[in-house]
Structure 1
Amino acid sequence: MKGMKFLKLKKIFAICIVVLLSTSMVIGCAKTEEITENDVAIVNGARISLDDFNNNLALVVIDYEKEFGENVLEKDDGTGKTLLESVKEQILDKLVMDEILLQEAAKNEITASDEKIEEAFTAFSEFKENDEQFKKSLDEHGVSDEFIKKQIEQDYIMEQYMMFFIEKATVTEEEARKFYDDNPEYFNTEEVKASHILINDEELANEIRARIEKGEDFKELAMQYSEDPGSKELGGDLGFFGRGRMIPEFEEAAFALEIGEVSEPISSMFGYHIILLEDRIAEIVEFDEVKESILAHLKRLSFQSHTEELKINAEITLNESI
């Protein structure tokens, strides 16, 4: 669902390795480095520049505005902060973690080949040339090809370091079986098929809900009023999705509906959602079918624990004015 994904970025310059999404800013300061106005942080003596921070922020702003329209980052994120404030915190956290991982990769002599970098950069360049608005946005925000190429190189090195660590990690079948037994909800592949109408104004959302109750066609109203550009032209159709794919408020409401039932307007950071549940499928997956996936998942979790430990032990100084 295009209008529901938080921090969804183009793959070629992904904002964060997936296993790091939940890490928090833990700061270990054995000594204090002098930080300047041109730095956002110092990590184990290495400076992270304000330019890098601003370029990363620009990529997120471009993506958000393309998906949700201008001024979306001024909205409340549900915690009392604006989305922009939350995004800035996450970018700073991401840059600190990136620097730590790049330092660890360097210790293990992990590098990116010129061939890999050029291959990915060529793909990015072709994408940019075929999307005039994206190209214009990059130019307006001052995001250079040199910066993108550096991001590609760093992303590749971090991915290689993660693979290097995971390949050495050991997880037993007994541990995998315990995870399977302790987490049955992960192996119930229940999915629902839903459509929604996204409205920013609560009063209008209630009016549309009332019109649906009186018999007006849900999909026609979605095409006329919905403010989700990803599903509007499809009559609000989101297709099938499982748990963990949508924001919590939306997921909870969708999975609680009966087939054919329409929800009251559900509030989220994006506005008010009127949800129609159209179908539901469910299946229990046996252990043998998912054993290898569980083993891989547990290895990734071990990498996440490793990164958290690295962060706790790192010497980090932040620019508090960012």
Structure 2
Amino acid sequence: MRFTRRTNTIIMWLLAAGLLLGMIIMFTPALGSIGDLLSGGARGSSKAGLLVNGIPITELEVQRARSGSFFNSVTEGTVAADLEKYAIEILIREEILNQASSGVRVGSGEVRRAVNQFRQSQGVEGRRNDQAYVRLINRAGLTDQTFRFSLQEQIRRQKYQDRLVKDVGVSDEEIASYYEINSGAYSTEERIRARMLVLDDEALALNLMKRIEGGESFQELASEYSLELGSEKGALGAPKGKTEPRPIGRAALVRPVANAAFGLKASGLTGVIKHSNRFHIVSVEEYLPSQSRSLVEVRTELQEDLLELKRAGVAENTLRQLRSNATISFPEESSFSFANPVIASVGSIEIKEAELIYATYGNQQIQQALSPEFAPLIEQLFKPNVLEQLIEQELILQGAGLLGPSFVGTRASVSRDALNFVSRDATVSAKEIDAYYEENLDQFTTPASADVTQITFKTSSDAQSFRLSLLDGGNLDASAEEWSGVAENLGTVFQGDLRAELDHILFSTNAFEGIPNSKLGISDIIALDAEESREFGAVASNAEEDVSSNDQADAQISTELEREADTPVIENELLQGKTIIEPSAFPAGFESLDLSVLVAERTPEARQSLSEVRNQVETAVLSSQTQSLRKAWLDELRIAFSVENHLLAKNEDSLPRARLEGEVPITSNVPESATLADAQAMAVDLVKELRSLVTRDDLTLEESARLEQVHVDLGKVQDEVAIFTGALSTYVVEEGETLSGIALEMYGDSSLWEELLAANNYLLQDQDVLFPGFVLVVPNLQNKSQD
């Protein structure tokens, strides 16, 4: 059931005014039930806790507002004090708005219509559902009376807002400026007319690709072979039974297919695209690029959007002004106090503690995660980052006044438009696209992998008999048992996961013979050291070590028998690079080694071509250019305007000591991580140790040396995490830095600090917060946007 325009506007007003959480408190018993307090009953029975423009809010009201589980989720320390101030701030804003709208009359008929609309939207309309309606509002801690009162207050505020914005309009100049900045949002979507083949067999897909390239009809092949749209001859967007394709946008295709098809930027044929065990081929018959629409074409739509933004901006600015002008005092006998000091300034504009607390604890993520364990993160990480965002927003708002266009709307929309304006000249050249692709090939490459079973034998004859059995169609488990083999399923492995010899066989040779009627291949017989074969991941013995004890074996292996990479190989670490053709030719002494055979389905490395990912690459390059322009502008503003962050100055920490000139650089002594999980686990341990050292100022010489070693080791391990995850880089945190500041430097947008937090969530937990020397993984946000 849809709400009326008035109800929707009420919600928009509450959002613009920053009262959404106050509304939640009113309707949710877990956060306290304020609805029954607004009737005034509590004000005559309790002493004043604070005065808002001389009007008291009682201690009982404050206590009830704080009685919900949210405000008691942390009961000690700075965060607990913040939650008390947050509850008081909510009450202050409620009272300010009540006072401002007190002269607005609301009739009983208006309230009755609002109740009926609510009941209809919840499916409890009509007298027969009276009890269901009462149960519904009772679950929110309300009675019919208090519910009606709360609706009356919301309607009153809405009518107050209507009076504020009734004369708001937009000028031709504002419309022209808004169009100049946001014309891209009113452009048509790029589309294609195309046909698609969908198959579940890669060999068939490659075969059909050759046939299409050879001139056969795509339509006829789609009709005969495609698993989808066969009756439409592969025509995308065509009604069922029709065979002519219609224009479609990107959303009509899965992302990899869309990237390849739209990346052509013209008519043409994609390669074979694998996605979810299906293989796609797209024939683009016509590319319809995005086109700008003129101001004349979009004027009506744009004017409506701009008018809504401007009205919301008036509402927001009015509430901010009311809050700024309000006189808040606490009687001497009050149990509460709220000093509300200035914690930052941008030019002549001050940011006070109440604004920071309201912005911090109004954050949905914080509300969901609030707990004693999470409290240190809020105090030392979240609050500093939120303050940096408030500072940056104020900086942008002041800087916007120096730009040419006329910006209107909410603070958030003006900030967005100003950033869009200063980065409007960002462009991308073909050379930059090519360079980005070449420099970031790992992003577009799926590494080789293999699903592997290793079968170990004691004799070469058993191993050879097993091989022949599988090549003759025998069952793996039955054949291994028949020939006394011990099978171990190694699962899916990537290059570097296994010991050197097995890794080399799997990923650096073609020493496998295909098993008939199967995707599996079987290796030649591999000779392994019996002791080391029990411990995968052990470092292989040096190939150059003394092999004099194996003279007899060496004598029987001629270098003339060495084969090319596509020839089956038998190796052991003492005879690396030497090969044997027939198992019967095993030299004396080999029977004391473990003899293994690998059965594997190997998937080779796959790399997307530039044509397949051109749009993704272009977006990444354009994003980088945009961020650079924005960052440069913000850097200029920080010079032009005096910016002070008192909270940052208060929380200054110290860096580990600098290395003395001439000292020998420390190298990492941690082993290579085989998997992402291994690297992250190692990083967790190193961060714990680093934290215990970096926060002390009484380190011994030995502990100081260990501090530097741990820092180097953490840098190495985090570099490995970055490689595993396709991150942009790593970043060493310096004194006084915050995630929002780092996000601004790395991405040109401080609001992306939560992406940094998410990428490092295996480290930033519980008591762990940023400190000098901490090494962050900086995620590639373009990768994320393509997921």
Q: TM-score, normalised by structure 2?
A: 0.20
Q: Which has the larger radius of gyration?
A: 2
Q: TM-score, normalised by structure 1?
A: 0.44
